[in-house]
Chain A
Amino acid sequence: MPKRILITGSTRGIGRATAEYLAAQGAEVILHGRNREDVEAAVARLEIAPTLVRGITADLSSRTDIARLAESAGEIDVLINCAGIYEEQAVEKLDAGSWARTMDVNLSAPWLLSRLLLDGLKRRQGLIINVASDAGFLGVAGGGTYCASKGALIGLTKALAIELAPEVRALCICPGPVATDMMAQSVAAAQDQEAAFAQWTNYAPLRRTAVPREVASLIAYAASQDAAFATGSVWLMDGGLTAGKRF
């Protein structure tokens, strides 16, 4: 029987690449997105038997939607919390709404989904994979809210792993700069787009951004039986970003 895997934030970026990767391996995937058209399009473009894919639309900043998402997903083997948002927020230009949105989507949604899907995950000896970020390790000016949410997501992963072992495992994947729509939007929003693009390219010591498929392959490995002894681990794949600085 194929593994049933729910991937949040899988209409774009790392989430979509992960869904494609896992579908190619024969998994049953449940896609999720905030926007119905995007979800339908993502389901349609996935080259997979129709019985092995479905999509659920939900706003992860709404707890009602999260409950509905969990109920609709049903019992699963692997929960991949990939949905995340980034909102620039300088310390002195405080926006309580931005803090709440970021915490809701990046941190509380993974927590609530883990708890709501827990019984099924226990029955299936399942796995929770949280997608955090290098920003869980490094401070980013203007990204305090995002950093706090991703650092907390790393903590959540460890707490889940320690308490739920040995039945359920939990892992955290921390990508560095990845060429996603999210990154493209940040470049588009910059005054000097060429400079913004160069900044991303040169951010990590490997001097390039990752493509989503590279991160997807690590997530797929994490979800495979080969990684069955890993729990509570935080796996960076960041082009050397958090290892140090070039001087």
Chain B
Amino acid sequence: MDWEFAGKAALITGAGRGLGLAMARALVAKGCRVALNDKSEPHLGAALAELGERAVSAAADLSSIEGPALCVDRALAGLGHLDIVINNAAINIENTIAETTDALWDLHLAINLRAPHLVVARAFPALRQSRGVVLNVASELGLHAIPNNVAYVSAKHGLVALTRALAIELAEHGIRVNALCPGTMDTELMQECAAASGSPEEYYAAFNEYHPLGRIASPEEVASFAITLVSPLTAFMTGSSIAFDGGSTAGRVWKAV
């Protein structure tokens, strides 16, 4: 269904690799033009080179107050208009409650919660013109908690609530806002963490077991679902937060012993 995104323009943050890049690839394959943001210059450069003339840079530091507006301005300068905004960039630095410093807390709130808010605020006139759509990539940890992620869990719950508030306020302008709550994905970041853990097999096994389906997701399968959330297929959906998590927020697996 190439018609879905032909002539459309999308901004995707955190698009240098992982889910962000997978979404960019999926949209470009369906005729969309994309503006990409990533904090890593090498990752962003490689993604732009791969996607070619349909991709432009929206480089900016999303952890700063000014960065999100700059990101939107660069996207608009490169694309001319905006139909789709995907707030995907996030950080997750695991720490116990006692070890979560002020700086770490603030950084999670800045990138994972404030930046999506500032991006949408800046993109509002363009989205009003296009009757556009916003997708906030939250997390299953926007719906429940695990230990050692206090700042991340708080910020992602905030993002789920922000999604509803934006959806209610922007509905009259025809702008939809939804949140996607994925479980763990087999991204480069995951592979790096596994390698750093010293025993990659055990690391993967723990994450596989955590999800009732017994595995983690590929970024591509999450991306293919994500782009339906910014397509006309979901034109009546707004303010929703959708778990795509292998069942991890649905309940507990009770193993026979």
Contact = CB atoms under 8 A, between A and B. Distances in A.
A91 B72 CA distance: 15
B206 interface: no
Interface stretch (B22-30, B47-55, B140-148, B192-200): B140-148
Highest count of chain A CB atoms <10 Å: which of B65, B124, B163, B165: B165
Contacts of A151: 157-162, 164
Contacts of B120: 91
Interface in A130-189: 135-156, 158-164
Contacts of B221: none
A155 B239 contact: no
Nearest to A168: B97
B166 interface: yes
A148 B165 contact: yes
A92 B124 contact: yes
A1 interface: no
Interface string B59-99: 00000010000000000000000000000000000001110
Contacts of A63: 102
A49 interface: no
A152 B139 CA distance: 13
A243 interface: no
A228 B83 CA distance: 50
A207 interface: no
Nearest to A94: B121
B169 A159 contact: no
B154 A140 contact: no
Please classify the interface of chain A as helix (H, G, I), strand (E, B), loop, or mixed, using the class held by over half of its residues. helix
Given A139-B167, A142-B169, A151-B158, A159 B150 contact: yes
Contacts of A129: none
B113 interface: yes
Contact of B97 (A136, A137, A158, A160): A160
A209 interface: no
B157 A155 contact: yes
B122 to A, nearest CB: 8
Contacts of A143: 165
A111 interface: yes
Contact of B121 (A92, A108, A148, A164): A92
Contacts of B156: 155
Interface string A97-115: 0010001000110011011
Contacts of B170: 91
A135 B158 CA distance: 11
Contacts of B100: 115
Contact of A149 (B150, B158, B169): B158
A60 interface: no
B12 interface: no
Given A103-B109, A155-B156, A163-B97, A147 B161 contact: yes
A232 B145 contact: yes
B162 A148 contact: yes
Contacts of B166: 91, 139, 144
A96 B64 CA distance: 11
A81 B93 CA distance: 26
B175 to A, nearest CB: 9
B155 interface: yes
A144 B175 CA distance: 15
Nearest to B168: A139
B109 A108 contact: yes
B114 interface: yes
A163 B121 CA distance: 34
A74 to B, nearest CB: 18
Nearest to A164: B97
B169 A152 contact: no
Contacts of B114: 99, 103
Interface in B151-195: 153-170
Interface of B: 65, 96-98, 100, 102, 105-106, 109, 113-114, 117-118, 120-122, 124-125, 141-142, 144-150, 153-170, 239
Give the 7 A-B CB pairs with smallest separation, nearest first.
Answer: A151-B161, A155-B157, A152-B158, A139-B164, A139-B168, A147-B165, A158-B145
Interface of A: 63, 90-92, 94, 96, 99, 103, 107-108, 111-112, 114-115, 118, 135-156, 158-164, 232
Given A151-B161, A159-B154, 6 more contacts: A94-B118, A94-B121, A139-B163, A148-B113, A155-B153, A159-B97
7 contacts: A108-B106, A115-B97, A144-B117, A149-B158, A151-B160, A154-B157, A156-B154
